[in-house]
Structure formats: structure tokens, C-alpha cells
Structure 1
Amino acid sequence: MSASILTVPDRIKFDEAIELTQSFLSQLKTNEFASDRIQDFVAALLQTANGARGFFVTYLTSPDPVCDEPRAEIIAGLKAHPDIAADLLVKNIAMSTAQQLYHQRRNDPEMVASSATVAARTTKIVHQLNLPLIQDLCRELVDTIHAGTGSYSDFLTRWGYDEEQKNAIAQAVSKLIV
């Protein structure tokens, strides 16, 4: 598949975003994807919630080391849609942190390592983006955990995190607040 074929549909579905991101990563790994198109491709994916979710789930969980050090062009593409990027990155830190505990409890070191990789990659992206909005969302998440209510209540309830997981999330997210 050539880079010219990788175009993002206006109404992209979640599974389509995953497929496109997988193709993108394959081309990135083999230097088939033109550097001057990376930013635009990532920005196009982040225009919609489905595209952004598909990008992050694929990029952050990929076994490929090409995802361990985000390229400047990828960071620039994420900055094109800071609201969507910030929201999903904060939630990814929370989810990967909680999942590490879940997998530790199930004695699954392979999945613990996988969740730790997601957390580490997300943290690198957060630091490189350096968006004030991420700081604000991190504070909101920590405040929600400490108060037991707030803007992240629905998120925490939806995933059924217990107190130990919430405390771990608060610690992890607090480290991102400058």
C-alpha cells in the first residue's frame, strides 16, 4: 500500500481508523510514508473521535518499537486537535495505570508489561505536547478521585475502578502536573 492511498475519510469508523493507523505504522517503520505527510495524516485522524480513538489504541498498544519515541511530525499532528488529544491522553494514562494493577492481581506479567508500555508511551507524548489543557484535565481527574465526585466521575464509574486503582491513577496523573 502506498502512502498516497492512506487518506482519512470524513466519517471514519473506529475500525477503519485502526486499520489506517496500522498501515501508517507499517509504512513509517519502512520509511515508505513521506515525512512531510505525517503531520497532516495524524491531524486528519484526530478530526473525529473515532479517528482519534483508533489512532491512539493502535499507536499506544502496538508491539512495534517505532511507537516508543514519537516523531516530531506526530506530535505536531496531535497539536492540531488539542482538545481531543488531551482528553484521550489523560484517559489513557488512567486506564493503563488501572490495568497494570488489574493484571498484577491476575498474575499476568505479560499484560502488566503491555499496560506499562502504554503508560510510558502516553507519558512521553504528554510531555512532548506540553499542553496546558492536559495539566487542567489531570487536575480535574485527581480532584474527582479525591472528592469522589467531579468531571471524571462517569469515566471512573464506567470502568469500575476500585479505590486502589483510583489511588494509583491519582499518583500517575499527579506526576504529569507541572
Structure 2
Amino acid sequence: MRISLILVASLSLVNGFVLQSSSLYPQTINGLSSKTRFAASTSEEEIALPTLDQLKSDSFIDQVGYASQYVPLLSQEDIDVADMIEAQLSHSDGIRGFFVSYLTGDSPSPADEEVIPAPLKAALESQKSSSDLISLTCMNVIMPTGMITMHTDEELSNNSKMTSKRGIIVAKALLAMNKESGNVEMLKQCQAILKVAKGEVDSEDEDVKYWIEFFSKWGYGDKEKENIAKAMEDLMQ
């Protein structure tokens, strides 16, 4: 069966990225949440996981739903979902859909661990040089970090802080993979973001110009820029 999702009204999606103000809540089935059922059983009678073709081609909203079905399985050592994650990370809608589910799920979550789950590590390794993955991974640090101080509600601010922390863990892992392979593109993007956050702008640098426009678009002020700078310094350590 396919688990449908309720997009809670207070969840803000910007360009497919979560400005964390809530979570995606799966509908309950027979009195149990989908997360509980996933943890309890992995048989075909209980779960109808998406096909690789669906993961490679379906829409963003579908991708969010697909990821919500198997993200809880990441902590089960006898189940390998690396191929499924790799399929999602092969295109922009899949990347965004996967990380909406992975980064914003309720705790405890595999995303809270300092070391990313082995299936996600394998999938990131296979797609590590993707420009979409690099850019969107950076945004998954910037956007929730910016919202920590933009939210006036304490709970929403704390949710953004959680999403930011999870995003940094993923970004650190992806940056390390690219460094090891000699690909400097992600490091260049992180350095450009840090320059913009610190006000050290170079109008001739195309990467810097891109992130200047991005920061301006979402209205980041001095406090947001300060927090984003700290986040970028953290992940580049």
C-alpha cells in the first residue's frame, strides 16, 4: 500500500527546501503511524516500497512520500536502501524530496547521528560530484539556519535548529567525499557562502554573486548571516 502524507499547513517549503516550521506527519493506518509499522515489519504485505524508476522520475511531492516510507528503515542493518536513495539523488526533485523527509522527521531519527547511515553514505558517494546535490546540500544548511532567528515562535526556532544541525552533518560528509576525490566544487561553494555571510563580497566572483542574490531573496539580516557563517565554518572544519 502507498502511504499518503499530510503536508501540515505550518510547514514552509521554499524552492522545495524546508524552512523548518513543522514536520511531515504520515497518516495513521489501523491506529498505528506509518513509522511504527515500518519499524515493526518489512514484509510486502506491510510496505509497498517505490520502484527505482519511480524514484528516478516522479514529482517532488511524490519523492517526499517515497522517502518517508524508507527513511525509517535506515536504522535497520538488514535492509539496504542505498539503491533507492541513489535513485532519488540522481535528480533535483528527488534530492529535495529525500531531504525534506530525512532532515525534518521526528526524533529520534537516523539523521540525528553524527555519522550518517551507511546506505546514505553509499548513495552520496555515488552522486558526490552532482552540481544539484552540492548546491541543494548547501541550501539545506543555509535555509534552516537562517530561520532559527527569523522565527518568533520558540518551538519553530528549535525545529529549525534541529534541521540545521542535521543538514550540517550531511554537508560535512559530502564535502569530505569531494575533498578525497579531488573535486573542489563544493568547497568553492562553501567558501563563497562564507564570504557573503561575512560581508566579504567580490562582485567578480560568479559563485559569490549567486549567493549574494540568494541571501537577498530570503531577507537574511546580520544575525542570520552571523549564524550561517558559523554553520559554514563548522562544516568546513
Q: TM-score range by the shorter chain?
A: 0.7 to 0.9
CA deviation string 1:89-118 (max 9, x = no partner): 211111111100112xx1x22112111111
Counterpart in the other structure of 1:121? 166
Counterpart in the other structure of 2:13? none
| Unmatched runs of 5 consecutive residues or more in structure 2 | 2-43, 180-184, 204-208
Residue type at the aligned position of 1:5: L
Cα RMSD for the two superposed structures: 2.3
Deviation at 1:144, TM superposition (A): 3.0
Residue type at the aligned position of 1:111: L
Residue type at the aligned position of 1:159: W
Change (3 A) 1:171 1:55: same
Q: Report if aligned partners of 2:172, 2:236 keep a CA contact under 8 Å in 1.
A: no
- The size of the alignment, in residue pairs, is 172
Q: Report if aligned partners of 2:49, 2:69 keep a CA contact under 8 Å in 1.
A: no
CA deviation string 1:70-92 (max 9, x = no partner): 31111111222222332112111
TM-score normalised by structure 1 residue count: 0.84
Q: Report if aligned partners of 1:24, 1:33 keep a CA contact under 8 Å in 2.
A: no
| Unmatched runs of 5 consecutive residues or more in structure 1 | none
Residue type at the aligned position of 1:68: D
Rg: which structure is higher?
2
Residue type at the aligned position of 1:45: Q
* Cα distance in structure 1, aligned partners of 2:112 and 2:150: 23
> Residue 156 of structure 1 is aligned with which of 215, 222, 232?
215
Change (3 A) 1:100 1:6: same
Deviation at 1:135, TM superposition (A): 2.3
> Residue 190 of structure 2 is aligned with which of 135, 138, 152?
138
* Cα distance in structure 2, aligned partners of 1:137 and 1:119: 17
Could you list the structure 1 runs, at least 4 aligned residues long, displaced by more than 3 angstroms after superposition: 1-5, 26-29
Residue type at the aligned position of 1:117: M
2:57 match: secondary structure = coil
- Within 5 Å, which residues of 2 pair with 1:1-178? 1=1, 2=44, 5-8=49-52, 9=54, 10-28=56-74, 31=76, 34-35=79-80, 38-66=81-109, 67-69=111-113, 70-82=116-128, 83=130, 84-103=132-151, 106=152, 108-129=153-174, 130=176, 131-132=178-179, 133-145=185-197, 146=199, 147=201, 149=203, 150-178=209-237
TM-score normalised by structure 2 residue count: 0.65
Change (3 A) 1:33 1:14: farther
* Cα distance in structure 2, aligned partners of 1:49 and 1:165: 26
